[in-house]
Amino acid sequence: MIRYLVRRAALAVVMLFGLICLTFVIANVAPSDAAALAAGPDAGRAQIEQARRDYGLDRPLHEQFVRYVTDLGRGDFGRSVATGRPVGQDLAKYFFATLELCLVAMTLGILLGIPLGVLSAVFQDRWVDHGTRIIAVSGIALPPFWFGLLLQLGIASSLGWLPTSGRLSVFTEPAAPITGLLLVDSLLRGNGALFAEALSYLILPAIVLSLPCLASILRVNRSEMVEALRADHITAARAHGVSRLRIVAVHALKNAMLPTLAIIGLRWGWMMSSTVLVETVFDWPGIGLYAVSSAIAGDFKPVMGVTLIVGLNFMLANLVVDLLYGALDPRIREA
């Protein structure tokens, strides 16, 4: 198991390097002059050349690459040419907003998806199954920006139950971050009012983000459960008089959880990298919004930083899934 982990970690380093190369190349072939952007719209030729020298953009490409990689090694993501701020600082701020959104959305997806999947399998082709099929199909089919707008219009605007957008009211001063996750921080400080407010802003975007993920968890879990419930050892357990609840919730579900875990891991990686639409609709200050606004401005250091974070997150998710696989199935652990 440890050897396996080391091998996986080594592989992750190689993949990370590949990712760095790729983002670097893409950022440099993009038709945008970072020096001109850095110097500002009214800058003359001399000022642009000055900015080019300041940011090291006049150096040969391989030299820039080596510098970029060594900086990354020190945890320095470079500076945004548009704002002049260090990308690392921005990422730290925006990443946790996205992480919080994704954590809540994924929790929703898992807590609803797995039980609904189990129920659909147990009551296969009955009304529960048909009902969840409708949820699943709409979860995959509804474009998130449209669904988000509908929720804003209905629940936030017309009914006024929840705020429309943002992470907190503009009048609320968020306390200094401990973990960066508002829900956790407010709880740690014992600030119930802040918790409720953060939650009220979080619910709608989290629902929109969780729907496609809920749909795929539900469908995968359902079909795996149907399969698992047909297994010979389930017949044997029934014949021996094992209780129905125990058969469904432990004997079958444990077998169905392996593929479900795989889809959860994939969905997690995917979710972190596709928050853009939801963050834009709900004006959520996360890395998706940050990456897109930087890209539109032609400012590529933030985009590269976000890509790296998202890629790293994907690898971590896969590693965690592999570990859980081993924990669940002893045959994998021993192989």
Partner 1 sequence: MTLLSIDDYRLAFDGFEGTAHVLDGITLDVARGETLGIVGETGCGKSVLARSLLRLNPAPPARVVSGAIRFEGEDILAMPEAALRRLRGRRIAMVFQDPAAFLNPLLNIGTQMADVLQGQDSAGGARRRPAREVRARAAALLASVGLPEPERLLDARPHQLSGGMRQRVLIAMALAGEPSLLVADEPTTALDVTVQAQILALIAVLVAERGLTLMLISHDLGVIAASCARVAVMYAGTVVEDAPTATLLGTPRHPYTKGLLAALPDLDNPAHRPRGIPGSIPSLRQPPPGCRFHPRCPIATARCSVEKPLLREVGDAAPSEAALCDEINPMPRDLGRLASRDGKTAALHVGEEETASPRDLDSAALGGLETALPPQAPPPSHRVACHYA
Q: Do residues 183 and 100 lie in contact, with contact meaning Cβ atoms separated by under 8 Å?
A: yes
Q: Do residues 35 and 49 lie in contact, with contact meaning Cβ atoms separated by under 8 Å?
A: yes
* Pick from 215, 85, 72: nearest CA to 140: 215
Query: Quick one: 98 or 260, whose CB is closer to partner 1?
Result: 260
Q: Which residues pair with 79 in a beta bridge?
A: 86
Buried/exposed 171-187: b ≥16 CB within 10 Å, e otherwise: eeeeeeeeeebbbbbbe
Query: Quick one: 54 or 322, whose CB is closer to partner 1?
Result: 322
Q: How far is the CB of 260 from partner 1 (least distance, A)?
A: 13
* Pick from 68, 139, 70: nearest CA to 307: 68
Query: Quick one: 111 or 250, whose CB is closer to partner 1?
Result: 250
CA–CA distance from 258 to each of 132, 142, 228, 278, 302 (Å)? 21, 28, 11, 29, 36
Query: Quick one: 120 or 186, whose CB is closer to partner 1?
Result: 120
What are the residues binding partner 1 (CB under 8 A)? Answer: 230-233, 235-243, 246, 250-251, 254-255, 328-331
Query: Quick one: 27 or 253, whose CB is closer to partner 1?
Result: 253
Query: Quick one: 84 or 241, whose CB is closer to partner 1?
Result: 241
Q: How far is the CB of 262 from partner 1 (least distance, A)?
A: 15
> How many C-alpha atoms does 89 have within 13 Å on its Cβ side?
6
Cα-Cα-Cα-Cα dihedral of 297, 97, 179, 321, to 10°?
-100
